[in-house]
Amino acid sequence: MSFDLKVSLQQRSEPSAQQKKLNRLIDKIEQQKVSLSTWQNAQAEIQQHIRQKLMPVYGALHEVLFQQLEQLWNMLHSHEFSKADMQQLDEKIAQLAQMLKRSKMLSAEQLELVRQIDTFYQQHGAELAKKNKKAQSIKFEYEESVERGVELEEDFEQYAAEQQQAREQAKQQRQQQKREQAEQMVAQSLKTVYLKIAAMIHPDREQDETKKEEKTELFQQVSLAYEKQDLFYLLKLQLQLEQNKGLGAKELSAEQLRFYKLTLNAQSQQLESQIAEILDSFQLAKNVKAEHVHIGDVYKAVDADCAELKQQLKWEKERFKHMKKVSGIEMLLGHGVL
């Protein structure tokens, strides 16, 4: 059943400024409901597209980065380099280990080596920071540092996790508070509107059998909408019923306008949060608002990310070829592209 929620007045009456605002809010919610439905229907397909397009490239990229890490680490321990080159090698290896230590693409054995190397460099981070003044190789300290670095690794991992969690909480706190307030408002209004409609259309109060059957069907729809917490549908019906009784032929009172505005704003915020959660699940590179992005834009963004990753993968493979020889590493170091 379709209802027109916009405030309808007698033709001779001009809607007030507040009623015009209410009608614009109604239009916004209608668009949000369509948008939410569209994104919900497309979400699984988009996520599948992301997995198919990006995950294989990420897997290949992590693999070649691990090969670089392992190769440079072995080269550092088996060949002689100048102090300046050692500093660059240390920094590159530490960077790769930091990038890969939480990878879900590597094997358990690969991750173990990554974490050992990362622990080693975390423990000597202060020394690395001072190397511009006094270059000093740290490669010979590795074997004895791994064992005592286990505890440090756990502490650092915990610290990093706590910092990440704090950032996420700071980002989500205001949204969560806003969402909770909207949900409370919707829940309170939902019951109020439902009870009012039920009193108006309850079939047991109708003597005419035809009308009783119609009201029974309508009451079932109302009950279903209440179960689904579809406040917007119930508000539509409430206004329509009031208009059918002649109550809508006059302007809504200030109190009525305030109630509908508060309730509809809460509904709008709830819809906005639901759409935002879907967009966040795609992990788009740019923070975009729902009204400014379309499904086609998401596919284009994924394809663009994929093309960029493939280009990076191509370059990392080429760089790894040069890392297989000392002369190749020295060439990369000399050009500042290690």
What does the DSSP assignment read for 286-326?
A: S---GGG--HHHHHHHHHHHHHHHHHHHHHHHHHHHHHTSH
Residue 76 CB-half CA count within 13 A: 25
Residue range 185-205: average pLDDT? 80
Judge whether 137 and 83 are in contact, CB under 8 Å: yes
Output the six-digit token pair for 6: 């916009």
Q: What one-character-per-residue DSSP string does 98-113 give? A: HHHTT-SSS-HHHHHH
**Per-residue pLDDT tens over the stretch 21-60:** 888 888 888 889 888 999 999 999 998 998 898 889 989 9
pLDDT(142) > 60: no
Q: What confidence score (pLDDT) does residue 181 get?
A: 67
Domain locations in the chain?
A: 17-334
232, 33 Cβ separation under 8 angstroms: yes
Work out the average pLDDT over 230-235.
82
Tokens encoding 72 = 């440079």
Tell me, what's the pLDDT at 311? 93
As given in the structure block, the two tokens for residue 318 are: 């080429």
Average confidence score pLDDT of the chain: 78
217-252 burial, b at 16+ Cβ within 10 Å, e below that, comes to ebbeebeebbeebbbbbbbbbbbbbbbeeeebeebb
12, pLDDT greater than 70 = no
Model pLDDT, residue 250: 52
- Distance between CA 311 and CA 30 in Å, rounded? 42
Task: Work out the average pLDDT over 80-88.
Answer: 87
Structure tokens at 141: 């300290």
Would you place residue 155 in the very low, low, confident or very high pLDDT band (cuts 50, 70, 90)? Answer: very low
Provide, rounded to the nearest whole percent, the portion of the chain with pLDDT above 70. 73
Q: pLDDT, tens digit, for every residue of 283-303?
A: 765 555 556 778 888 888 888
Confidence of residue 263 (pLDDT cuts 50, 70, 90): confident
Q: Is the pLDDT of residue 315 over 90?
A: yes
* Backbone dihedral angles phi then psi of residue 250, each to the nearest 5 degrees: -115, 165
> Could you tell me what percent of the chain has a pLDDT over 90?
16
Residue-level pLDDT at 182: 64
Question: Tell me: the pLDDT tens digits for 161-194?
Answer: 555 566 667 666 766 776 676 667 677 778 888 8
Question: ∠252-183-218 over CA atoms, to 5°?
Answer: 60
Joined together, the tokens standing for residue 48 give 């599948």
Average pLDDT on 251-277 reads 80
The whole-number pLDDT of residue 289 equals 59
- The per-residue pLDDT for 11 is 41
